[in-house]
Amino acid sequence: MTDRNRVPSAVMSSRLQDDGGFTFDENRQEFAGSGSYASQWGTEHKVPDATPLSVDQFRDQNAAHLAQKDKFLGGWRSDDHGGDFLDVTTRFNTPGEAQEYGRQNAQFAAFNLDTMKELPIDYGASSLPKGTPDTLRSEYDELGRSAVDAQQHGRADPSQARERGAAIADKLIQQETLQKMGQHYATDTRAKPDTVVAQVADRMRR
């Protein structure tokens, strides 16, 4: 592809500044308008401000990735993380597929262009008892991301993830959420509530 046929990076930089993000198909040289997407681990690049030059450099550095089928150039602005991000993102037909790929790549979320909404990635928080505080759910999901990251990429210490898991389990026990779950399962299985609580807490600590 000649430079004359390549959409200028200034167009992407402008869209990120104006709309807060973009998804671009390098093979077709057009912006994507549908599908669900999740980032590929290791391609995320944070820049203070996604200028045309920084976008151009990222495109050149990741040309091999972006030439692959269903790979796209992604850009988004994150107020929470203080900056603009560029990445290589993969397109999927369903939100569930994007979320699973995102989980495998230790991502915080995927994105659905059809609804223009983030797709949260669950690392175990949905399995927590009803009534668990949101702060603990968030911490538990973060723990899951750390564990996935450690297992797949060796970027974190698995023992630290286990220690944090044990701490979360202890917090849940203190707040009686595990006891309540134990009571519920005990009714169905006719097991002693304390035994069920101990089993669940032990499983969470692993």
pLDDT of residue 12: 95
pLDDT, position 36: 98
Residue 32: its pLDDT value, please? 96
**Element at 163 (helix H, strand E):** helix 158-174
DSSP states along 165-189: HHHHHHHHHHTTHHHHHHHHHHHHH
Residue 134, judged by CB atoms within 10 A of its CB (0-12, 13-18, 19+), counts as exposed
Is pLDDT of 47 > 90?
no
**Sign for the pseudo-dihedral over CA of 145, 84, 60, 71:** positive
Mean pLDDT across the chain: 79
DSSP H helical ranges for 52-157? 52-61, 63-66, 95-104, 134-153
Closest CA to 89 of 14, 4, 21: 21
Percent of the chain with pLDDT strictly greater than 90: 42
- Closest Cα to residue 105, out of 55, 156, 148? 148
Q: Evaluate if residue 189 carries a pLDDT over 90.
A: no
Closest CA to 9 of 73, 78, 71: 73
Q: Read off the tokens for 32.
A: 């994507």
- Mean pLDDT of the 108-122 span: 92
> Rounded to two decimals, what is the model's pTM?
0.69
Confidence band for 29, pLDDT divided at 50, 70 and 90: very high
- Structure confidence by residue, pLDDT tens digits, 131-165: 677 777 777 777 777 766 666 655 555 566 566 66
